[in-house]
Structure formats: C-alpha cells, structure tokens
C-alpha cells in the first residue's frame, strides 16, 4: 500500500554523562519505538504495532529481573563520578543536583567521598576539604538565602549523630530506590496508560485492515 512515510525524530547529540545510567537509554528507546510505530502505522499496521508492544513489555520485564544489576551499575556510576568530582564542572553540577534533589550524600553514604582525593580523610591529604563533603550534601536551612559552599567542611570528623544535623547521611542509591517506591503508583500508571493506548492502536489498526480487505473483496 502506498502512502507517505513518517520517520520518528533522530537522536544525534552525543550525551557525555548518563544520568543514573539507564534513563537516557530508555528515553532513546522510547523515541525509536515511536518512530517505528509511526512508520508501522502507515505501512504495516497491527503486526508491527504488536511487535513494538511486545518489545516494550520485554524491556520492562528485563528491567525488573535485572534490577540488582542496575542497582550495582548505579553504584559504580556514582562512585566513579565522585572520584572525578573536581575534574569537570558539568559532572560536578550533575552530582550536586542529584544529592540536593534526593537529599543524599555519596552512593551509600557520606563516607563514599573518601574516594575523592580532596575529600578523603587520610593524613596525607592537605586539602581544606579533607574529611568533608560538597555543599550539596548539607541539610538546608530555609532561612538562609545564600548557599554556604563551605558548610560541608570537616563534616565527617564529627560523630554520626552530629553529622545528621549538618549533612545528609543517606546514600543516593537507597534514596533513589525509596523515590521509586514512593512514586510506584504514578510510574506504573504511566506505563499501564501507554500500554493501553498501544493495545487500542493495535485494535484500530487491525480493524482498519479488515475494512480494507472487505472493500477489496466487494470489488
């Protein structure tokens, strides 16, 4: 059947850092599936729409099955970026945003900042930031209008009870898991809504094919 070919948007930009590894990959896959779906709607109808739905369902199942692997990759990603925190301003901003948004510090705790040469607690470290954490780990005072970028200095030299007053002590990996659990209903609802729309599209496409075949048969 002839018709105009629709092509989905192409993702050509080079992404330097993957925000927690897999969200960019899933975004890219979603755009790809959208492009294939538009082409399939015009050319092959319900068969390809069914294949796309099956692929997305498979991706969701794999993400659930390999959730521990994904968690480990997230842990390695954060720790590797902690090591290079002062080497790249974009990376630094990414880590600061993550820690402020999820109110966390390090991958599994503030001591993960021992991986950074400026923040580790070794005796040989002459940095003023020794045994401290970045300002993004600090608990926020609503009364403060200006960010105190030195609030994390010497924070990890204090007893753990006192640390909890001035910095976030929970890691970003468990905080991310908590965020997913707290928003599970919303996330599940979005995916269920997308799945229902795709099933509806498959039914419409199949019905359209039947109508076309019926018209041809009547000629």
| Percent of the chain's residues with pLDDT above 70 | 59
If you average pLDDT over residues 51-73, what whole number do you get? 65
- Could you give the count of Cα atoms lying within 13 Å of 27 in the half-sphere of its Cβ? 10
Task: At 36, give phi and psi (nearest 5°).
Answer: -65, -40
Residue 166 in domain: yes
> Is the pTM here over 0.75, yes or no?
no
Average pLDDT, the chain: 75
Q: Which domain holds residue 104?
A: 66-216
> Residue 89: which CATH number?
1.10.1450.10
Residue 38 in domain: no
Instruction: Kindly report, residue by residue over 190-218, the tens digit of the pLDDT.
Output: 767 776 776 666 666 667 667 777 777 77
């Amino acid at each position: 059947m002839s018709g105009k070919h629709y092509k989905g948007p192409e993702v050509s930009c080079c992404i330097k850092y993957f925000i927690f590894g897999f969200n960019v990959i899933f975004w890219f896959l979603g755009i790809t599936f959208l492009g294939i779906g538009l082409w399939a709607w015009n050319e092959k109808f319900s068969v390809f729409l069914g294949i796309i739905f099956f692929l997305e369902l498979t991706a969701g199942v794999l993400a659930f099955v390999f959730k521990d692997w994904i968690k480990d990759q997230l842990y390695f990603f954060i720790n590797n970026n902690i090591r290079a925190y002062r080497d790249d301003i974009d990376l630094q901003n990414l880590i600061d945003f993550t820690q402020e948004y999820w109110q966390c510090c390090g991958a599994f705790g503030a001591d993960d900042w021992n991986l950074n040469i400026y923040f580790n607690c070794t005796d040989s470290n002459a940095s003023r930031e020794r045994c401290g954490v970045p300002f993004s780990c600090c608990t926020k005072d609503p009364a403060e209008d200006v960010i105190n970028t030195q609030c994390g200095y010497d924070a990890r030299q204090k007893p753990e009870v006192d640390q909890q007053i001035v910095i976030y002590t929970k890691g970003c990996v468990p905080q991310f898991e908590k965020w997913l659990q707290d928003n599970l209903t919303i996330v599940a609802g979005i995916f269920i809504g997308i799945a229902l729309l795709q099933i509806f599209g498959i039914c419409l496409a199949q019905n359209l094919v039947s109508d076309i075949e019926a018209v041809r048969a009547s000629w």
